[in-house]
Structure 1
Amino acid sequence: MFQIENLGEAKFKSPLQLSTVRGDNIFNFVDDQDRLVYDLSLEAYNHCLANNKEPNCLEKAGPRQNLYFEPNTITAAIVTCGGLCPGINNVIRGVVMALHYFYGVKQILGVPYGYEGLNPEMGHNFVELTPDSVKDIHQFGGTILGSSRGAQDVGVMVDTLAANNINILFTIGGDGTLKGCNAIGEEIEKRGLDISVVGIPKTIDNDIDIIDRSFGFETSFDIAGNVLRDAHNEASGAYNGISIVKVMGRDSGFIAASAALAMPVVNFVLVPEMDFQLEGKTGFLEALRQRLETKKHAVIVVAEGAGQHLFQKDEIRKDASGNIQHDDIGIFLKDKIKDHFKEIFPITVKYIDPSYIVRSAAANSSDSVFCSGLAYMAVHGAMAGKTKFVVGRVNNKLVYLPISAVTQKRKKIDLESEFWFAVLQSTGQPFTL
């Protein structure tokens, strides 16, 4: 299930002066047989024991003693795709520094504006990346390479990689980007080319399956938490004041839920995973009325993909990445709340949408550390000839995973989980709406 593909036998000795023995106080090379159990539950252990089966294991990330690529002869490239996210520049910097200083790779190219940059017809030229050119970029949000959404012809992109003698392509992006990376890898395999493709999962929604979290997510709910604090000030500063804060979360509500836990002034969290109802005795509007009668103010945080079942949809619209375009639940809620309370009692509603401010911010300290670790481990895996893999943290350990394993479905909040129960305890909202 979690087998990582390799381009071939690793024949070159690593330039890293690491150890192979325990106890000498020097970090050890990681062997491909160093694997970590995926399911840590006693139930899974007993099942494997009873059926005489090996458990599903993950390949531990880290530097290998032998490399597939001869470092001073190769060219690496980096591409960033999809929406912005805190930490992209940190990852770019980490990859460049690791290639240059750890392995002595001389030629590192930046692919401008996402996968468009691998299509010559778009007219974007590669940029050279050096330690000097990237040394300060971690201080800024966004991506110095630019980004774009939408697919390009896989054959054309592989032609571009081959024509420019690129040996390793690092792709930084979310679900669609990773699927594109895997498709590039499959085309490379069909042609018998020696090119490694690597995914570094990026999405503030934290919806990449299997991995604990994606980079940028923690910064996002950190910043959103500060917005919620101010929204609470607005709500509590008015009689029957209501603040509605809409955050990103197309299919998963991790930002909304985590921000509410980080800044526990929120009274309602509405996420895509729940099919809440507006009307009725157990509906959201009735719960909001009870809250206002008791406390005279309320703070609501809603993920952008929540409540889509409440809209009349004549057709399904998709963006350039193939994602379903949602109707604006924030404006919808604001209008519905105003209409509902018009004949009950006066209210004051403030609507705040910080989405693009959140996603374009620079990474916080925790995410910055995480981004560097992901970048370094991605480089180690690529230099060893591994391909069509992502680096991610699972059970709090950095591992390599096949791209195909993490793109089968989106990770969502389990409404029966301890995490969601913690949200309900923090907000005091009913178990069902």
Structure 2
Amino acid sequence: MDQLDFSIRRLGTPRYASPLQLSYVNDDYIANFVLDSERILYANSLSSIQRSIEQGIEPPSFEAAGPRDRIFFNPPDVTAAIVTCGGLCPGLNDVIRGLVLSLRHNYGVNRILGIRYGYQGLVERSQLSPIALDPERVNDLSSRGGTFLGSSRGPQPVDEIVDFLLKRGINILFTIGGDGTQRGAAAIVEEISRRNLSISVIGIPKTIDNDIFLVEKSFGFDTAYSVATSVLSSAHAEAEGAYNGVTIVKLMGREAGFLTATASVASGGVNFTLIPEIPFDLDPPHGFLSALETRIRERNHAVVVVAEGAGQEFLVKEASRLGTDASGNIKLADIGVYLCDRVKEYFHIRHIPVTVRYIDPSYIVRSLPAIPSDRMFCLRLAHNAVHAAMSGRTGMIVGYWNSAFTHIPIEASVSRKKRLDPEEDLWLSVLESTGQPNRMVNAETAKKM
């Protein structure tokens, strides 16, 4: 890993004692404050740490998240705002609820605003008035999918956003969203810094794709792969129910295959898993269609799961006509439909009867309420975001790494995307559970790998 700067910005010296009644010592049966010196190691193997020591450098580490004994903001002076941006994701309402409850009950913050429809609601000309939030208002949010604040894609003028914050007296802003949202948050932080203002901006990373760099797991992922696993079980029943049945399921995953791979392993009934990180060909002698033919001849059914971003090299012409979305992302052509057509064509030419079915559960997966494990994770993320904001930290997201909550500079987090490593154990588990070939590429593609 390149040597990234993991230092966290602070607005100034904390001036107030925390209202939390926590401890400074161990073994007294009271939870402790977290020391600023507490760090979470980036590497979790002894060999990696030994290499750093041999090179005479300190092993890379993150600042540990959690409550500090001194806080920067005086709670009666705080006006906090919460904004949700980008696509829907299970757990959004749980994070909102957790932020409101922690601000009110743990720190005594009374002025909490919900920003409507993403960054669009942070500019005055949108005429989208914020919603006053309190524990009663958010009490039943956990039972609802989506975000009750609404969301939108795309940037807004940063100077107008900071003007909006100043006009409303907002001195803490929580940004809930993916890398595009957090890039926007980083720009807001820079404008705040340019004006020498004491406004904290804390990000809470959100993506079903689980592709946020330096974040082990993002909220909503557990729910997404759990629901996707149920879909894959149905897909298996459909495939088995027809002679030479082939069911193709498309899951979300623009540039990363974590959701597709994890659901594939969890389901136990998938035969082929196609993701953006692993190149594959379609045609014989060693492409996917050849492997699928072997499977059909031997077992008379197959389940294929493909991430939405896989195989886009086969669809360049179609994708070029689609343009980009409001966030500037290139719109993807439908690899699922394309695969269905190619499978039908391939087997028709060979006079092999097949029944092909296609399932795209994307919008169902992302809009459901979170499962209990995700709800707990959302609540803990929210608590740690509030602790960070009240301590005067800014320009950071709350992450999760090596089973611990961390503080990560936004600039480091958005510097690249996280990708599934084909040489690590998750992809090995995919290969072992599906039985698909290690590679489904012909000689020409293999030369480029």
Decide: shared fold, TM above 0.5.
Answer: yes
| TM-aligned CA distance change 1:315 to 1:408, over 3 Å | farther
1:105 counterpart residue number: 109
Counterpart for residue 394 of structure 1: 401
Question: Which of the residues 153, 158, 161 maps onto 2:162?
Answer: 158
Aligned length: 433
How far 1:280 sits from its partner (Å)? Answer: 1.5
Select which of 349, 352, 377 maps to 2:384: 377
Q: 2:40 & 2:342 partners in 1: Cα distance?
A: 50
Distance 1:106 1:155 in 2: 27
C-alpha distance in structure 2 between counterparts of 1:2 and 1:128, whole Å:
34
Partner of 1:202: 206
| Amino acid of the structure 2 residue aligned with 1:351 | Y
CA deviations over 1:139-198 (Å, ceiling 9, x no partner): 110000000000000110011001110010000000100110111011100100110000
Q: Does 1:77 align with 2:84?
A: no
SS at match of 1:317: coil
Q: Shift in Å at residue 359 of structure 1? A: 0.1
Q: Could you tell me how far 1:337 is from its partner in structure 2?
A: 0.7
In structure 1, which of residues 123, 126, 141 is the aligned counterpart of residue 127 of structure 2? 123
* 1:269-280 paired onto structure 2 within 5 Å: 269-280=273-284
In 2, are the aligned partners of 1:174 and 1:202 still within 8 Å (CA)?
yes
Selected match of 2:425 from 402, 413, 418: 418
Q: Give the residue type in structure 2 aligned to 1:418.
A: D
Match of residue 317 from structure 1: 323
1:16 matched residue in structure 2 = 20
Match of 1:259 among 258, 263, 277: 263
Q: Would the aligned equivalents of 2:53 and 2:59 in 1 still touch at CA under 8 Å?
A: no
* SS of equivalent to 2:316: coil
What code does the residue aligned with 1:157 have? I
Alignment equivalent of 2:56, drawn from 49, 52, 55: 52
Q: Does structure 2 conserve the Cα–Cα contact (< 8 Å) formed by 1:79 and 1:115?
A: yes
Distance 1:415 1:209 in 2: 17
Instruction: Identify the residue that residue 338 of structure 1 maps to in structure 2.
Output: 344
> Conserved in 2, the CA contact under 8 Å of 1:95 and 1:375?
yes
Deviates more, 1:66-75 or 1:29-38: 29-38
**Aligned mates of 2:322, 2:424 — CA distance in 1:** 31
Q: 1:337-376 alignment to 2 at 5 Å? A: 337-344=343-350, 345-376=352-383
Residue type of the partner of 1:334?
C
Aligned partners of 1:196 and 1:385 also within 8 Å: yes
Given that 1:210 and 1:411 are in contact with CA atoms closer than 8 Å, whether structure 2 keeps it comes out as yes
Q: Which residue in 1 is equivalent to 2:192?
A: 188
Query: How far is 1:312 from its partner?
Result: 3.5
Secondary structure class of the residue paired with 2:262: helix
Which residue of 83, 88, 96 corresponds with 1:92?
Answer: 96
1:47-81 per-residue CA deviation (whole Å, 9 max, x = no partner) reads 23223322212111100100000011110000000
The one-letter code of the counterpart of 1:342 is H
CA distance in 1, matches of 2:56, 2:280: 45
Report the Cα distance in structure 2 between the residues aligned to 1:362 and 1:321, rounded to whole angstroms: 25
Alpha-carbon distance in structure 2 between the residues aligned to 1:364 and 1:242: 30
Which residue identity is paired with 2:229?
Answer: G
Deviation at 1:235, TM superposition (A): 0.5
**Could you tell which deviates more after superposition, 15-24 or 348-357?**
15-24
Q: Does 1:31 align with 2:38?
A: no
Larger displacement relative to structure 2 (18-27 or 294-303): 18-27
Deviation, 1:316, is 7.5
Is the Cα contact below 8 Å between 1:250 and 1:303 reproduced in 2?
A: yes
Picking from 437, 446, 449, the partner of 1:430 is 437
Task: Specify whether residues 87 and 238 from structure 1 end up closer, same or farther in structure 2 by C-alpha distance, changes over 3 A only.
Answer: same
Tell me, yes or no, if the aligned pair for 1:249 and 1:303 is still in contact at 8 Å. Answer: yes
Which residue, out of 291, 295, 298, partners 1:294? Answer: 298
> CA contact under 8 A between 1:79 and 1:170: conserved in structure 2?
yes
TM-score by length of 2: 0.95
Give the letter aligned to residue 385 of structure 1: G
Query: For residue 189 of structure 1, what is the amino acid of its counterpart?
Result: S
Question: What residue in structure 1 maps to residue 413 of structure 2?
Answer: 406
Give, in whole Å, the separation in 1 of the partners of 2:52 and 2:325. 44
**Could you tell me which residue of structure 2 aligns to residue 62 of structure 1?**
66
Q: Which runs of 5+ in 2 are unaligned?
A: 441-449
Q: Which moved more, 1:3-12 or 1:19-28?
A: 19-28
* Structure 1: gaps (5+ residues): none
Q: Deviations over 1:186-216 (max 9, x none)?
A: 1100100110000000000000011111000
Alignment partners' CA distance in 2, 1:334 and 1:267? 15
CA distance in 1 between partners of 2:75 and 2:135 (Å): 16
Once superposed, which parts of structure 1, at least 4 consecutive aligned residues long, lie more than 6 Å away? none
Q: Tell me, yes or no, if the aligned pair for 1:268 and 1:301 is still in contact at 8 Å.
A: yes
Same amino acid, percent of matched pairs? 52
Contact 1:275 1:309 in 2 (8 A): no
RMSD: 1.0
Q: Distance in 2 between matches of 1:334 and 1:361?
A: 27
State the secondary structure of the residue aligned to 1:134. Answer: coil
The CA deviation string for residues 252-292 of structure 1, in whole angstroms up to 9 with x for no partner, is 11111111111010000011112211101111111000000
Distance 1:163 1:329 in 2: 47
Opposite residue 323 of structure 1, the aligned amino acid is N
Letter aligned with residue 143 of structure 2? Q
Q: Separation in 2 of the partners of 1:183 and 1:383?
A: 21
